[in-house]
């Protein structure tokens, strides 16, 4: 008698549908990401020299110490301008006395040279790098593989969060439009860290804590402050379950699987610390040589979140607006309170992430529009919006479409400039309302000068110009001659108002500010010059022996007319001369406005009323005590005019 195998029970309809949804997600997402790779060349951006050399080293000899053969291997992959840096690095390899052969590299305790960034990102890229070498594909595309592989993993996490392939794909699209599109093709770990962090939030709060711990730990390998997420995840999960008592939330966090996930993330975080201790003798070589606690402050915190060139607001303008304006609709009070706690927790996380970032010396570092730190620091807020969408039975399609369009526009705008250029929003504000934008001095200096150099020069003035007109300028308080620094020798500034001080010593000037050559006309040229025209109340031109020619005032009042082509070009009237006995001051009236008494012998400039709209000055000088010099000269003299002009 033949024994038949036991019948296999068919999967439930729910399981079959879930399997089909996962298959659809995998296929669509894989095809989309592969297509993205196919149409874009790999780019070396960010800390490319470090990561590329570590990748080449790992692919060649299975370790991340940098050798001459590694430098030779990457020369053809890097831009020509990097040759001088690679030469310096190669030279430093041979000299054991050189501790830092090139910024970004440091000699370890074993005498070998290593990159100062941890190698996890490069180790992950080593296998595709080697494969591309063998298949004659540009090895630089290995970073596309690592970045998009994490985006794919994010898609799997969002599939668990939504249990819907279209919604999971929409979530991936929202991630890409919140900074992912800017950094997926960079040879630096920002895209990997952000995707892993967002996946960690999604998996932990949807009941997969071990996978969440793995993702958060992976993200923290290159950006250590992300490890703080592990302490916040249990509290965040409780906040998102409005009906759960606090005691039950604590019990849920202490179950074996959540604890195992948090422990796994903590172990991964500890790997770079152990590596740094073993290799350099400190837990973080970057913290030792490239950071300063004195740099932490409200200015940099504001800059990370709200700077109009590189702040987080540039990355997620519509996401933030939708979260704040729609994320609370239709909720009961208890649920709103819990959601408010979740938002406060996410704000605290984002600030905590940013504290180590604020210590770095090169604040205005390589960026694709949005600051690299601001990109992944935004993930807690993006997750909150995704969780709110998870709870919605029907998505607000019109609203969400608008958000996606605004985010797409934000990505397009951010992709058009680098860390040495002003972005379109910052440029617009500086053209129309410059007093509203006062960035960190390093940001303004490097973008105004068009070069990255975090040692801002106190001996020069930095300016943002439009058609030759300074719309905003910045200078150090110790600079003796701002006008010369801005405009060159022999010129002065016209217009502008002093604005906010940054860090106490950097002063902003808000334009428009024009550079103009001062106009100074002597009386012998009054009749031939069109700028200054002599009016009533003056005597004849005189030339005292060995002294400049001049002209005495005659009577109680003397008049001048000064005209120039450009309204607002000058802000001060300058009249110089010498007083006759008994006269020490003159009342100066400009275009009918009495400016008060002035000592014209001292040459003190007089402010021009309504200078911004004025191009002709009707000047009336009322003398204090005009008198006759003697019986043979009946003129009433007060001021011997030597020069008149504007500046």
Taking the alpha carbons at both ends of the chain, their separation in whole angstroms is: 115
- Partners of 616 in the β-ladder: 563
| Residue 68, pLDDT above cutoff 60 | yes
* Reported confidence tier of residue 354, pLDDT bands at 50, 70, 90: very high
* Reported confidence tier of residue 166, pLDDT bands at 50, 70, 90: very high
* Reported confidence tier of residue 16, pLDDT bands at 50, 70, 90: low
Contact 524, 549 (CB under 8 A): yes
Task: Collect all residues with Cβ–Cβ distance below 8 Å to 428 and sequence separation of at least 6.
Answer: none
CA distance linking residue 532 with residue 524, whole number of Å: 11
Task: Collect all residues with Cβ–Cβ distance below 8 Å to 211 and sequence separation of at least 6.
Answer: 157, 199, 203, 261
Give the HSE-up count for residue 479: Cα atoms under 13 Å, Cβ half-sphere: 21
CA distance linking residue 105 with residue 83, whole number of Å: 16
pLDDT at 504: 78
Q: Which two tokens stand for residue 575?
A: 């009249």
Radius of gyration, CA atoms only, the chain = 34
- Model confidence over 211-231: pLDDT tens digits? 999 999 999 999 999 999 999
Contact 320, 313 (CB under 8 A): yes
Structural domain spans, the chain? 18-25+34-40+138-414, 48-137, 437-516, 519-646
Give Cα separations from 445 to 123, 452, 472 (angstroms): 36, 9, 11
- Helical axes 397-414 vs 165-175, angle rounded to 10°: 30
User: Residue 362: which of 352, 372, 353 has the closest Cα?
Assistant: 372
Would you state the CATH architecture of domain 519-646?
A: Sandwich (2.60)
Q: What average pLDDT is seen over the chain?
A: 91
* Reported confidence tier of residue 15, pLDDT bands at 50, 70, 90: low
Count the residues in the chain. 647
pLDDT at 365: 86
Pairing of strands 462-466, 469-476: antiparallel
Strand runs labelled E in 10-155: 105-107, 113-115
- Model confidence over 267-282: pLDDT tens digits? 999 999 999 999 999 9
Buried b / exposed e along 26-60 (16+ C-beta atoms within 10 A): eebbeebbeebbeeeebebbbbbbbbbbbbbbbbb
DSSP 45-77: -SSHHHHHHHHHHHHHHSS-SB-HHHHHHHGGG
CA distance linking residue 262 with residue 241, whole number of Å: 20
pLDDT at 525: 85
* Reported confidence tier of residue 329, pLDDT bands at 50, 70, 90: confident
* Reported confidence tier of residue 120, pLDDT bands at 50, 70, 90: very high
pTM (two decimals) = 0.84
User: Residue 228: which of 182, 254, 273, 197 has the closest Cα?
Assistant: 197
- Model confidence over 45-61: pLDDT tens digits? 989 999 999 999 999 99
- Model confidence over 445-503: pLDDT tens digits? 999 999 887 678 999 999 999 988 899 999 999 998 898 899 888 787 877 788 888 87
Contact 509, 541 (CB under 8 A): no
CA distance linking residue 57 with residue 69, whole number of Å: 8
| Cβ neighbours around 177 below 10 Å, total | 23
| Residue 7, pLDDT above cutoff 60 | no
């Amino acid at each position: 008698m033949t024994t038949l195998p036991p019948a296999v029970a068919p999967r439930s309809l729910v399981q079959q549908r879930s399997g089909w949804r996962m298959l659809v997600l995998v296929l669509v997402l894989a095809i989309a990401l592969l297509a993205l790779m196919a149409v874009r060349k790999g780019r070396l951006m960010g800390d490319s020299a470090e990561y590329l050399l570590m990748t080449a080293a790992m692919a060649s000899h299975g370790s991340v110490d940098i050798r001459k053969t590694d430098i030779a291997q990457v020369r053809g992959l890097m831009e020509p301008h990097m040759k001088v840096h690679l030469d310096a690095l190669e030279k430093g390899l041979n000299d054991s006395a050189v501790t830092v052969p090139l910024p970004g590299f440091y000699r370890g305790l074993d005498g070998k040279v290593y990159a100062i960034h941890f190698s996890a990102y490069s180790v992950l890229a080593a296998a595709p790098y080697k494969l591309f070498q063998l298949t004659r594909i540009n090895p630089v595309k290995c970073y596309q593989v690592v970045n998009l592989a994490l985006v794919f993993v994010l898609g799997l996490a969002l599939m668990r969060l939504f249990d819907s392939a279209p919604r999971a794909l929409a979530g991936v699209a929202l991630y890409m439009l919140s900074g992912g599109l800017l950094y997926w093709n960079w040879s630096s770990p920002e895209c990997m860290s952000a995707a892993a962090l967002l996946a960690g939030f999604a998996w932990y709060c949807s009941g997969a804590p071990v996978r969440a711990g793995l993702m958060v730990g992976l993200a923290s390998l290159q950006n250590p402050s992300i490890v703080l997420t592990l302490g916040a995840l249990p509290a965040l999960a409780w906040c998102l379950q409005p009906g759960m008592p606090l005691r039950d939330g604590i019990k849920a966090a202490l179950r074996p699987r959540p604890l195992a996930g948090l422990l796994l993330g903590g172990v991964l975080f500890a790997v770079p610390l152990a590596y740094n201790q073993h290799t350099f003798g400190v837990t973080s070589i970057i913290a030792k040589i490239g950071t300063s606690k004195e740099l932490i402050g409200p200015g940099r915190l504001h800059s990370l979140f709200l700077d109009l060139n590189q702040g987080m607001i540039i990355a997620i303008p519509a996401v933030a607006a939708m979260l704040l304006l729609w994320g609370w609709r239709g909720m009961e009070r208890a649920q709103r309170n819990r959601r408010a706690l979740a938002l406060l927790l996410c704000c605290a996380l984002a600030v905590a992430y940013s504290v180590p970032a604020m210590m770095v010396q090169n604040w205005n570092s390589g960026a694709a529009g949005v600051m690299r730190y601001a990109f992944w620091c935004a993930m807690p807020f993006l997750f909150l919006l995704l969780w709110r969408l998870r709870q919605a039975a029907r998505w607000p399609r019109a609203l969400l479409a608008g958000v996606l369009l605004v985010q797409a526009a934000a990505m397009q705008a951010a992709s058009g400039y680098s860390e040495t250029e002003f972005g379109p929003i910052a440029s617009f504000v500086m053209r129309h309302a410059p007093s509203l934008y006062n960035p960190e001095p390093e940001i303004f200096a490097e973008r105004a000068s068009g070069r990255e150099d975090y040692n801002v020069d106190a001996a020069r003035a930095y300016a943002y110009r439009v058609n030759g007109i300074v719309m905003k300028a910045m200078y150090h308080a110790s600079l003796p001659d701002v006008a010369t620094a801005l405009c060159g020798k022999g010129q002065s500034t016209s217009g502008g108002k002093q604005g906010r001080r940054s860090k106490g010593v950097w002063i902003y000037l808000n334009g428009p500010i024009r550079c103009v050559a001062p106009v100074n006309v002597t009386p012998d040229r009054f009749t031939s010059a069109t700028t200054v025209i002599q009016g009533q109340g003056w005597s004849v031109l005189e030339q005292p022996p060995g002294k400049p020619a001049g002209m005495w005032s005659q009577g109680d009042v003397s008049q001048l007319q000064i005209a120039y082509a450009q309204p607002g070009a000058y802000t001060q009237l300058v009249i110089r001369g010498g007083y006759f006995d008994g006269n020490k001051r003159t009342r100066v009236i400009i275009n009918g406005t009495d400016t008060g008494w002035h000592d014209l012998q001292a040459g003190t400039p007089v402010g021009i009323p309504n200078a911004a709209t004025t191009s002709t000055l009707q000047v009336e000088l009322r003398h204090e005590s005009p008198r006759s010099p003697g019986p043979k000269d009946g003129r009433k003299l007060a001021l011997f005019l030597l020069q008149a002009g504007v500046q």
